Amino acid sequence: MQNSKVIYISRAVFPNKSANSVHLMKMSQAISRTFRDVTLIGLKEQKNRISKKEIFENYDINSNFNLKLISIPKRGIWIYLLIHVFFWLNFQSRKNKIIYSREPFIIFLSLFLGFKAILESHDFFESESKRNIEKKIFKHKNFLKLIVISNALKNDYSEYFQKTPRIEVHPDAADIVDENYSKNIIWPSKKATLQVGYFGHLYKGRGIEIIIGAAKELSDFDFHIIGGNDSDIEKYKKLTLSNNIYFHGFKNQKELPGLRSKCDILLMPYQEKLSVYNYDKSSAKWMSPMKLFEYMSSKKAIISSDLPVLREVLNDTNSILVKPDEASDWIKAIISLSNKEYREQLANNAHKDFISKYTWTKRAEKIFKYL
């Protein structure tokens, strides 16, 4: 295994603000701790002159893996990527190489060219073309296994396919937090007031309305929203009538641990219908949000929506779980964490679970352990 080379192929554009791009970077770094040679293939805008070193810094990555970025044309990006990957792989040795991707068509192409491959999936949206290509992938002798992020997603794959491949459940993950991250970070807050934070996008279904409503009722708490596009921030600012809620905007990955450390309570108010990139699709049934594990790594008390898929990780000993759309329940949960002993107990339990199960390194080791 140590002499193998992993080629991780994506169609993500780097750098960008998506959780997908963070996942790809963090997994590549973690795999490189198991394998000596890892290459992440992605895309870049032709006009973007940012260096690879700057990209690694933005994602808080140690540059211990290779990053190959393909300049994309204005049109036909997906076809262009497939053609580029086809010719690039065709000139690579097949010996001791594993192709890893979240793109079924990339995996099918890799198997066709004679490589061993692993597919990772984060959803089971209806797609006849995707299902057909997956059937061909799962039957191929060089296909190693399917990685999914939740038991709910594994169940959907198992129910759909009569003959299922080797399926493994590996939830998302996070980095272990450096305790010095919070130094020299200054943000608006009231002294002796508990700080409540939300980190992530402001797409439909993220529960931002719940946070705004709670801030209005809980003047003794400060609320901080970190993330979101400028247009979404402006939209929600217009709904905000309280002076105890702050919008910090998008922050680089390197800045987030320090900002989370400034909070006492972290919120995850996912709704039962959760859009992806503002598309009218819901991933709430299968999700394993990186935000969850980043929260756990920060050793802060977590209040989360009580969704079945989140209960695969969370429980009543490491978080407070409440009905997604019951605003009064969220307010009660926040107030209950004024009790410092209770707050620290939940935070410590979540952190212990994180350290034992949910670091990026542990995830990579489990996926590649028996290959």
Matching fold, domains 5-169 and 179-357: yes
For the stretch 109-123, pLDDT in tens is 999 999 999 999 999
pLDDT band at 332 (very low <50, low <70, confident <90, very high): very high
* pLDDT, tens digit (0-9, with 9 covering 90-100), for 243-259: 999 999 999 898 999 99
Q: How confident is the prediction for the chain on average, in pLDDT?
A: 91
The backbone region for 277, taken as left when phi is positive above 0, alpha when psi lies in -120 to 50, beta otherwise, is left
Is pLDDT at 164 greater than 90 in this prediction?
A: no
What pLDDT is attached to residue 216? 94
What beta strand segments (E) does the chain contain?
Answer: 5-13, 37-44, 66-71, 97-101, 116-121, 143-148, 167-169, 194-199, 221-226, 245-249, 265-268, 275-276, 279-282, 301-305, 320-322
Task: Classify domain 5-169 by CATH number.
Answer: 3.40.50.11930
For residue range 22-52, what is the model confidence (pLDDT) as tens digits?
999 999 999 998 777 999 999 998 777 888 9
To the question of pTM greater than 0.75 for the whole model, the response is: yes
Q: Quick one: pLDDT at residue 50? A: 85
* Range of weakest confidence among 6-10, 25-29, 231-235: 231-235
Q: What's the average model confidence in pLDDT over 296-304?
A: 97
Say whether the peptide bond before residue 15 is cis (omega within 30 degrees of 0): yes
Q: Is the pLDDT of residue 202 over 80?
A: yes
Say how far apart CA 299 and CA 345 lie, in whole Å: 10
pLDDT tens, position by position, 276-298: 655 556 788 999 999 999 999 99
- The CATH architecture assigned to 179-357 reads 3-Layer(aba) Sandwich (3.40)
Distances (CA, A) of 21 to 10, 12, 25, 28: 9, 6, 6, 11
Q: Is residue 191 very low, low, confident or very high in pLDDT (cuts 50, 70, 90)?
A: low
167, burial (CB in 10 Å: exposed 0-12, middle 13-18, buried 19+): middle
Please report, for the chain, the start and end positions of each structural domain, with discontinuous segments joined by +: 5-169, 179-357
Residue 106 confidence (pLDDT) above 70? yes
Rounded (5°) CA angle 19-364-138: 85
Q: Which two tokens stand for residue 362?
A: 């542990």
Confidence (pLDDT) at 171: 98
Q: pLDDT band for position 59 (50/70/90)?
A: very high
Strand partners, 143: 117
Which pLDDT band, with edges at 50, 70 and 90, does 3 fall under?
Answer: low
Please state the rounded mean pLDDT for residues 292-319: 97
The conformation of residue 11, written as its DSSP 8-state character, comes to: E
